[in-house]
């Protein structure tokens, strides 16, 4: 009985300590790991959200770029971090696709994290170098099929959003192009603008300015509906690619075991950020918008990741393209 009483007392003390810690949280800066290079589209989203969350939490949310291995290096770092709320992850769709792309992934995207909430689902655009001959998406598809050995498609590396979109595109038209992987979105975009590669599919957060500035040729958006910032662009489905749809959703994660009270505080700060007029306006400039309220909860986010893993698994396995 004495041992049982002592055990119960210890459990109660630990529970009270965890509650007190969660109530005080945060007492120091929080590191938000972005598993890609600075200046890319995911980094842009992270910095907008981090700035607003810092105000709500009363502590600085510092963005740390930990690139490499298609986003898995940074995600793996967070998976192994202390579950105290001071190291969190902002990742895109690659959090789900990595489960299939990497056959020896050192962490489980579905079980090794606490989902904090979805941030935004960024549309993508199919774009080409300025002098690319086809005038429409339909013409581009025909051109690619007729010149598959000559046409080059650039992406930001294996596992990147541009890689996934390109893989889905090639699967949809039944034609493989010569793929040119880069170390990040910036170098790929620079070569597209400079005419060194022919095609690229990337997030509106990275392409809207280039399209409006006339630096690239834009063919279509990858979502079902039109994008407000690019109203004249047709959808891929309108261009003849039936059921072609992909958006690069972003979410925030904490290491598995992070107390629910801390996850809830982070979620509340995220909710405030996504209602911030400045964030909303900046997102609009980049061709996206915050996730609706009903998609921001940790519970919805957790189920969504599991569903996305199941959605992309057959696409990746069908293409037979793996990162390891």
pLDDT of residue 156: 86
Q: How far lies 134's CA from each of 110, 125, 199, 202, 233, in Å?
A: 41, 16, 11, 19, 15
> What's the rounded Cα separation, in Å, for the pair 44 and 208?
13
| Average pLDDT, integer, range 190-208 | 94
* Per-residue pLDDT at 288: 87
Residue 40 has pLDDT above 90, yes or no: no
Average of per-residue pLDDT values in the chain: 92
**For residues 63 and 94, is the Cβ–Cβ distance under 8 A?**
no
d(C-alpha 206, C-alpha 204), whole Å: 5
Q: How confident is the model at residue 55 (pLDDT cuts 50, 70, 90)?
A: very high
- Rounded Cα distance between 119 and 56, Å, is 16
For residues 251-255, average pLDDT: 98
Return the pLDDT at 3: 61
Average of pLDDT values for 180-192?
Answer: 92
Q: Which residues of 13-48 are buried (b: 16+ CB within 10 A; e: fewer)?
A: eeeeeeeeebeebbeeebbbbbbbbeebbbbbbbbb
Mean pLDDT of the region 208-222: 96
Q: Is a pLDDT exceeding 70 seen at residue 11?
A: no
* Mean pLDDT to the nearest integer, 244-259: 95
User: What does pTM read for this prediction?
Assistant: 0.81
Q: In this prediction, what percent of the chain has a pLDDT beyond 90?
A: 74
For residues 178-197, give the mean pLDDT: 93
pLDDT at 1: 57
Report how far residue 245's alpha carbon sits from residue 126's, in angstroms, rounded to the nearest whole number: 12
Confidence of residue 8 (pLDDT cuts 50, 70, 90): low
pLDDT, position 320 = 83
Residue 243 pLDDT > 80: yes
- For 143, the 3-state DSSP assignment is helix
pLDDT of residue 159: 77
**At residue 18, does pLDDT exceed 60?**
no
Residue scoring higher pLDDT (272 or 10): 272
DSSP for 243-274?
A: T---EEEEEEEEETT--HHHHHHHHHHHHHHH
Structure confidence at residue 4 as a pLDDT band (50, 70, 90) = low
201 pLDDT above the threshold of 80:
yes
Confidence of residue 160 (pLDDT cuts 50, 70, 90): confident
Report the distance separating Cα 44 and Cα 292, nearest Å. Answer: 20
DSSP string, 86-97: SEEEEE-THHHH
pLDDT in tens, 69-97: 888 999 999 999 999 999 999 999 999 99
pLDDT at 9: 57
Burial class (CB in 10 A: 0-12, 13-18, 19+), 150: exposed
Is the pLDDT score of 2 beyond 90?
Answer: no
The number of CA neighbours under 13 Å toward the Cβ of 92 is 29
Q: Give the orientation angle of helix 41-57 with respect to helix 277-285, to 10 degrees.
A: 180
pLDDT tens column, 125-139: 999 999 999 999 999
Tell me the C-alpha distance between 94 and 164, whole Å.
Answer: 9
């Amino acid at each position: 009985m004495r041992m049982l009483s002592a055990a119960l007392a210890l459990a109660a003390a630990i529970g009270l300590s965890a509650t007190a810690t969660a109530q005080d949280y945060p007492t120091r800066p929080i590191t938000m790991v972005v598993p890609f290079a600075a200046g890319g589209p995911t980094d842009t989203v992270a910095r907008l959200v981090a700035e607003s969350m810092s105000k709500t939490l009363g502590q600085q949310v510092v963005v740390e770029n930990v690139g490499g291995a298609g986003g898995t290096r940074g995600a793996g770092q967070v998976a192994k971090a202390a579950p105290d709320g001071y190291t969190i992850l902002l990742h895109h769709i690659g959090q789900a696709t990595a489960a299939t792309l990497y056959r020896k992934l050192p962490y489980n995207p579905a079980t090794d994290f606490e989902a904090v909430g979805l941030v935004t689902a960024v549309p993508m655009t199919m774009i080409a170098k300025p002098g690319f001959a086809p005038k429409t998406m339909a013409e581009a598809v025909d051109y690619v099929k007729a010149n598959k050995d000559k046409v080059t498609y650039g992406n930001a590396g294996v596992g990147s959003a541009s890689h996934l979109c390109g893989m889905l595109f090639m699967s949809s038209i039944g034609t493989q192009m010569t793929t040119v992987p880069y170390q990040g979105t910036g170098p790929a975009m620079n070569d597209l603008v400079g005419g060194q590669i022919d095609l690229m599919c990337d997030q509106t957060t990275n392409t809207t300015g280039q399209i409006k500035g006339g630096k690239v040729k834009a063919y279509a958006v990858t979502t079902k509906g039109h994008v407000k910032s690019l109203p004249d662009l047709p959808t891929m489905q309108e261009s003849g690619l039936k059921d072609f749809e992909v958006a690069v959703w972003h979410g925030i994660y904490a290491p598995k075991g992070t107390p629910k009270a801390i996850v809830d505080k982070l979620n509340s700060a995220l909710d405030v950020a996504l209602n911030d007029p400045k964030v909303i306006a900046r997102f609009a400039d980049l061709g996206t918008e915050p996730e609706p309220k009903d998609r921001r909860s940790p519970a919805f986010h957790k189920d969504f990741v599991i569903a996305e893993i199941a959605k992309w698994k057959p696409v990746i396995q069908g293409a037979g393209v793996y990162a390891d």
